[in-house]
Structure 1
């Protein structure tokens, strides 16, 4: 069994200290094999905000992390920095690689930098990025859960969120499906959900799912949804079909802990797309 924890839109600079402490307790209790931070690590890409984010990640101990930037991780109010060295503070905190990857016997996770200095909030994926990711996916083993991480979503549940969709998503989803992707993780809109991409995009060659996370730590929550993270469990040890679940864990103002509130059982590689949801 492999466990992946998805944390998104932490927006350090707007973080809630009690939620930070609760999430660190959750990480310690779950002992994930990988923590993915799917963008908007900071609120305004300032050095002190990245330092706080780095300290948060360091508190995971030896747990591997995969971090991709979001649009908030590029300076907004410093035009020179945005134009000439937009990722300087991000790279100072998390390393030079803006598109990191992680691989184990049961897991292949590929980060994609969908931010662009010439765009304000919108994200974009290029053909070069699409081809690079597809090549890695095509080399994956049959047992691996194949995950792509973007910041902006490739599919949304509400019409008012369509303006936030990733530019180039149609080509990316189609190509990555042919290459064997299972999940595309994202954030950006602070709204957690799981969507079957094989029902959203016509003619996909396999089942593929969009897994979106809410804001993990910020007070900039959306509607009635509190701070939220995703726990993804994958088991390929039984010799049969791969089994994958996505759990949504929300911060509770009452218990001051993260609590599981939903569980999605994802069907992978089957004949008929299906999604079972259990609310707890």
Structure 2
């Protein structure tokens, strides 16, 4: 059994200390094979915010794949935004803005969708799409295949359409055909799991969007609290299964607890994916 934790949009600089401690305790207890941090690590890309984020990641001592979000480039320092937009990020998390993780059971591919000139809007280029496809082509049959972006490739509210990743339709079609299973994202602080292969938009293979809420920030929206995802995958014999659990912070308990669960049958093993549980519509 492989276990992956997805956290997103912690916005260090606006973090809630009790929630940070609870999240670190949860990760330590779960002992995931991989933690994925899908962007907006900081609130304003300041050195002390990246230092706090780095301290948090180092504290749970698990492999971690991190990609930047639009908040991880300077907003007010126009000189740095133009000449070295990812400078502070690189000092905290290294030079690779599109990291990969491959342990034989899980393949996760990071995509840097941040465009400093666009402010908050993200994009994926044709070159990035093709790079991901080439990497997916080398995946093992039994691996869970994950692509990580910051901005969403699918939204469920009309007001979030403006936040969609630019060029997302081409990316979805190409990555589904190349055998991806999940596209993980953040940005809009709304957790949900949705199929991308639908009657309206047919794809070559099933592909699912997994959108995370804000993990530890006080910048919650519309009363949607702090949360993260746990993804479980059993290496298949005759079929594959992926289970996505939403873990929510309980204000009374001051800890994260498992909530909504979505079970997915991986289509490339001859089974159509099917959600179960009480995922919101």
Indicate the TM-score class for this superposition, using the shorter chain for normalisation: over 0.9
Map 1:141-180 onto structure 2 (within 5 A): 141-180=140-179
Would you say 1:203 and 2:211 are equivalent positions? no
- Aligned residues, how many? 277
What does the per-residue CA deviation read over 1:37-61, in whole Å, with 9 as the maximum and x for residues that have no partner?
A: 0000000000110000000000012
> What is the distance in 2 between the residues matched to 1:252 and 1:41?
22
What does the per-residue CA deviation read over 1:11-50, in whole Å, with 9 as the maximum and x for residues that have no partner?
A: 0000000000000110111000000000000000001100
**What's the offset of the Cα at 1:84?**
0.4
Contact 1:198 1:273 in 2 (8 A): no
> What is the distance in 2 between the residues matched to 1:142 and 1:242?
10
Question: What is the match of residue 40 of structure 2?
Answer: 40
Question: What is the match of residue 255 of structure 1?
Answer: 253
Seen in structure 2, the aligned counterparts of structure 1 residues 138 and 43 have a Cα distance that, compared at 3 Å, is: same
> What is the distance in 1 between the residues matched to 2:220 and 2:247?
14
> What is the distance in 2 between the residues matched to 1:135 and 1:170?
18
Q: Which runs of 4+ in 1 moved over 3 A?
A: 270-273
Which structure 1 segments of 5+ residues have no match?
A: none
**What's the offset of the Cα at 1:106?**
1.1
Contact 2:173 2:203 in 1 (8 A): yes
Map 1:21-170 onto structure 2 (within 5 A): 21-61=21-61, 63-170=62-169
Which structure 2 segments of 5+ residues have no match?
A: none
**What's the offset of the Cα at 1:147?**
0.2
SS of aligned partner of 2:277: strand
Contact 1:164 1:189 in 2 (8 A): yes
Question: What is the match of residue 242 of structure 1?
Answer: 240
**What's the offset of the Cα at 1:273?**
4.2
**What's the offset of the Cα at 1:277?**
1.8
**What's the offset of the Cα at 1:128?**
0.6
> What is the distance in 1 between the residues matched to 2:184 and 2:28?
22
> What is the distance in 2 between the residues matched to 1:43 and 1:155?
24
**What's the offset of the Cα at 1:203?**
2.5
> What is the distance in 1 between the residues matched to 2:200 and 2:95?
34
> What is the distance in 2 between the residues matched to 1:215 and 1:201?
30
> What is the distance in 2 between the residues matched to 1:271 and 1:182?
13
**What's the offset of the Cα at 1:212?**
0.3
